[in-house]
């Protein structure tokens, strides 16, 4: 891998760095390494690797966190179009999606998006993203998804930092409310970016021309 893309930097590396810095403030052994004066390029490389690995582990905690959070909302924002749990796009746009996905709906033996199962709709939305990516209309959706991953990772990092802090030094509970406030803000922003991503996914897909490649239509090959 020659470089980090936006999602890897925002969703994986940044939360990992935040967690490592948080640990360095609590444990002097880590702090001595992170904050030593004669910091070399090799030391920076070690910290980046540690932060990258830590970021992936944090996203595992974030996956559990988001599963619990979105279950309280009746599903992820990308599922709201199907379930009608919450407002995301207009009814006219939902009807347009149904028309675009007519072939796919017929293959699923249903007549409307709302009759699809959650798993079937998740597969279709993944195809939608692949379609807008192939059409190079995924830039905004990719940024929203990266920021969603960033906020999910930060929320997981702050939650773990608060737990470790209280276990390591119960007398530090006075700092807890500030970390909890940061955690709440991170979850709020996670929610917003999840909503932005879902809306951008559907509107970008609807902006494709009728002749563009889409789920349910095979791309013609020329010889």
pLDDT digits (tens, 9 = 90+) for 116-128: 999 999 999 999 9
Is residue 153 scored above 70 in pLDDT?
A: yes
pTM of the model: 0.84
Enumerate helices (H) and strands (E) in the chain, giving the number of each.
Answer: 10, 0
Q: What are φ and ψ of residue 69, in 5° steps?
A: -65, -50
Q: According to the model, what pLDDT value does residue 31 have?
A: 65
Q: Which residues, in sequence order, are CB contacts of 100 under 8 Å at separation 6+?
A: 205, 206, 210, 214
What are the extents of the domains in the chain?
6-206
Report CA dihedral (127, 128, 132, 137) to the nearest 10 degrees. -140
Residue with more model confidence, 104 or 38: 104
Is residue 214 scored above 50 in pLDDT?
A: no
Q: Which residues, in sequence order, are CB contacts of 165 under 8 Å at separation 6+?
A: 26, 172, 175, 176, 179
pLDDT digits over 85-100, tens only?
Answer: 888 988 899 999 999 8
Mean pLDDT for the chain overall: 86
Tell me how long the chain is: 223
3 state DSSP class of 189: helix
How many CB atoms lie under 10 A from the CB of residue 53? 12
């Amino acid at each position: 891998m020659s470089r980090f893309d936006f999602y890897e930097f925002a969703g994986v590396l940044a939360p990992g760095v935040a967690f490592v810095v948080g640990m360095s403030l609590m444990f002097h052994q880590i702090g001595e390494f992170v904050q030593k004066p004669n910091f070399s390029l090799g030391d920076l490389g070690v910290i980046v690797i540690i932060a990258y690995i830590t970021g992936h582990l944090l996203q595992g905690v974030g996956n559990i966190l988001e599963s619990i959070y979105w279950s309280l909302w009746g599903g992820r924002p990308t599922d709201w179009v199907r379930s009608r749990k919450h407002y995301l796009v207009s009814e006219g746009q939902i009807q347009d999606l149904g028309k675009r996905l007519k072939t796919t709906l017929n293959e699923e033996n249903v007549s409307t998006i709302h009759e699809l199962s959650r798993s079937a709709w998740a597969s279709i939305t993944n195809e939608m993203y692949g379609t807008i990516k192939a059409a190079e209309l995924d830039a905004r959706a990719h940024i929203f998804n990266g920021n969603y991953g960033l906020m999910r990772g930060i929320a997981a990092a702050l939650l773990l930092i608060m737990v470790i802090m209280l276990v390591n030094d119960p007398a530090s509970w006075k700092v807890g409310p500030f970390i909890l406030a940061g955690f709440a803000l991170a979850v709020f922003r996670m929610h917003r970016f999840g909503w932005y991503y879902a809306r951008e996914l559907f509107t970008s897909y609807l902006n494709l021309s009728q002749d563009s490649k889409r789920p349910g239509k095979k791309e013609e090959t020329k010889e």
